[in-house]
Structure 1
Amino acid sequence: MSLYEIAFSGQVVTGAAPELVRANLAKLFQADAQRIALLFSGRRIVIKSNLDAAAAEKYRAAMERAGARAEVIELQVEIEEVELAPPPPAAEPAPAAAPGRLQVAPRDEYMAAFSDVDAPDFGIAPLGADLQDAHGEPQAPQVDLSQFSLAPVGSDMGQAKPAPAAPPPDTSHLKLQQ
């Protein structure tokens, strides 16, 4: 699939008024005057990149209706070639797996990289088996309560006693005058 980019370098469609094209592009891109001035600076500006052919044509047509001449350029995408490692020779006997370990045979070149993986051989539990390790019943903590005793019913439990009322103030030195 080819990818395209849309670029604009300030060219207007023949017969279009530049100020009207600026206003149309400002409305189309919802851009302020500073960004529109940058579009008309004469430099080539990439508007959108990595578009498929249909989307690139939509952008070009919309800009042409606004009065601007846009360039549609096909991008040259370089695909990096990766060489896979050759599979191990089939004539060599596979090393013996350690007891309790699973020996993995590669199915293709990609999986050949995992041929020397030493994986534990996990079994499958029977249907309905409990997979969690068994735990004993929880033990109650050993707490020494010998220093505590019970008070008889209705006894004072040691609540704080209210402070005694303060003595009334001495008013013997006061006199009433008429």
Structure 2
Amino acid sequence: MSRYEIAFSGRTVPGAQLDSVKANLAKLFQADAQRIELLFSGRRMVIKNNLDAVSAEKYRSVIERAGAIVEVVDMDAPVEEIELAPPPAAAPASASAQPPAAQAQGRLKVAPRDGYMAAFAAVDAPDFGLAPVGTDLQDGKPEAQAPRVDLSQFSVAPVGSDMGQAKAAPAAPAPDTSHLKLAD
């Protein structure tokens, strides 16, 4: 009995509004907006796996009605073996001492190790190299300078002198309450 997985890559049904599809999937999966945005990141994400054929078809149809296109993959299908090209031969030590004319000084030539890395073979990357262990890689900070402020016009008052503090208001006279009486 074959097992299937449901994978989503961010594709929507033709003519479907993206906001509507996101809202439908959020309701369907009971997920917050952050998780839904993660689904639409463009990467292939497996939503469910180890399903039988009937369950996989149910998932596909429900998600398609929500406006998204999913991929149903047979997990038991044989995997195609790909033979990678052998790695390039190492250059002799004398050749590595001087860079080739086509390669700029201080630039790194990237040799792909597999099919995925072959996409980065034409990248012009600087050859930064590695620093020895314990090396401080952060630039030194300049010593902080105190600002130059001219304070010659100011003086210090003697101890106990009046510095111009606000004086407390004099207490108001107590109101006359002689005419008031308490009733029994």
The answer to whether TM tops 0.5 is no
Q: Which has the larger radius of gyration?
A: 1
Give the TM-score taking structure 1 as reference length. Answer: 0.43
Give the TM-score taking structure 2 as reference length. Answer: 0.41
